[in-house]
Amino acid sequence: MNSAIVESFSRPPRYGQFQDPEAKAGQRLVSVSAAALSPLVKGIAAGRHYSSGDTFPFVPGVDGVGRLEDGRRVYFAFPEAPFGSMAEHTVVEGSQCIPLPDELDDVTAAVAANPGMSSWAALTERAHLAAGEAVLINGATGNAGRLAIQISKFLGAKTVIVTGRNQDAVEPLAELGADAAIPLDQDAEKLTASFRSAIKEHGISVVLDYLWGASAQSIIGAVAGHGSVAGEPRIRFVQIGSIAGETIPIPAAALRSSGLELMGSGLGSVSYAGLMRSIAGLMKAIVPGKFRIAAEPIPLSEVESAWNRDTGGRVAFTL
């Protein structure tokens, strides 16, 4: 079958022929129509993600859209290795298929799933967002962050505060529902003060962190002492991405002096069932929520040339 094929962590996948999969008991054979090129997929195929394997060759792709043998159109996730989603056919557990609304097209569904799930799962499975709470999204200018703004509002957030690299980057986010913005191009002391002011002014209850690094350190510093006044909400800090750094120092006093709750959201911290619940909720919400999602289809035959393009997480390979 026609597939993208990873033969080395050091090279982009090539387009070629790969063996056909066979469904085992409990599995479903999927005829793939679209598979997203997400940062997660790139990280796994490059050996940089904690879920990367070490057996070659394999087909990349963790999810996609296609049809089952009975003709039903579904979103599917987590194919059985070595059969990823970037091929004409793949195999997945039956529980990892979700029927799609007729009004949602293949490419939009494929592109939205991974970035949208990141915030939907963080808000529902980890932070347990309650209607009327305020959310801070640290790193909201990318595809996942932009969706996180819209999803937060859809799930009932009263106020959404966002961060981005500078004022020019965060200004357009108001069109997606952001109520306030904090540029990150400030020195550490001023940035911490900006976060402290936002926490007090807006009563932030949930932080979705796509960056980690220095900005996350400033948020934790701003929370220090918070919670010492009766009635102040506990802050649930959910770590999702780490493009600004893998490690930060955390002062012990910041945890002792506040109601800060640190947690992660991703493969491992959320069960497969929880991730599928999150994606099912997302897929049902995209059209009625009028989510604005940038999606670009590219033929799978162009996988090698498109792989390292700066696609901003908006590409789905089509078959």
Give residue-wise pLDDT tens across range 132-179: 999 999 999 999 999 999 999 999 999 999 999 999 999 999 999 999
Share of the chain above pLDDT 90, in %: 89
Overall residue count recorded for the chain in this entry: 319
Q: Which of 50, 54, 49, 60 is nearest to 12 (CA)?
A: 60
Structure tokens at 221: 């510093």
The alpha helices in 46-142, defined as continuous H runs, are: 106-121
Please tell me the pTM assigned to this model: 0.92
What was the pLDDT predicted at 229? Answer: 54
* pLDDT tens, position by position, 24-53: 999 999 999 999 999 889 999 999 887 888
Structure tokens at 81: 């290795």
**Cβ partners under 8 Å of residue 64, min gap 6:** 30, 32, 33, 34, 35, 36, 75, 76, 85, 86, 90, 110, 316
pLDDT, averaged across the chain: 95
- Say how far apart CA 106 and CA 64 lie, in whole Å: 8
What are the angstrom distances between the C-alpha of 308 and each of 43, 45, 118, 132, 143? 12, 12, 22, 41, 17
Domains in the chain (CATH in brackets) are 2-104+294-318 (3.90.180.10), 114-264 (3.40.50.720)
* pLDDT tens, position by position, 180-234: 999 999 999 999 999 999 999 999 999 999 999 999 999 999 998 876 555 677 8
* pLDDT tens, position by position, 246-292: 999 999 999 998 989 999 999 899 998 999 999 999 999 999 999 99
Residue 86: CA count within 13 A, CB half-sphere: 30
Q: Tell me the pairing of strands 63-67 and 27-36.
A: antiparallel
- Say how far apart CA 313 and CA 319 lie, in whole Å: 18
- Say how far apart CA 311 and CA 12 lie, in whole Å: 15
Residue 234: CA count within 13 A, CB half-sphere: 12
What was the pLDDT predicted at 227? Answer: 62
DSSP assignment, residue 142?
S
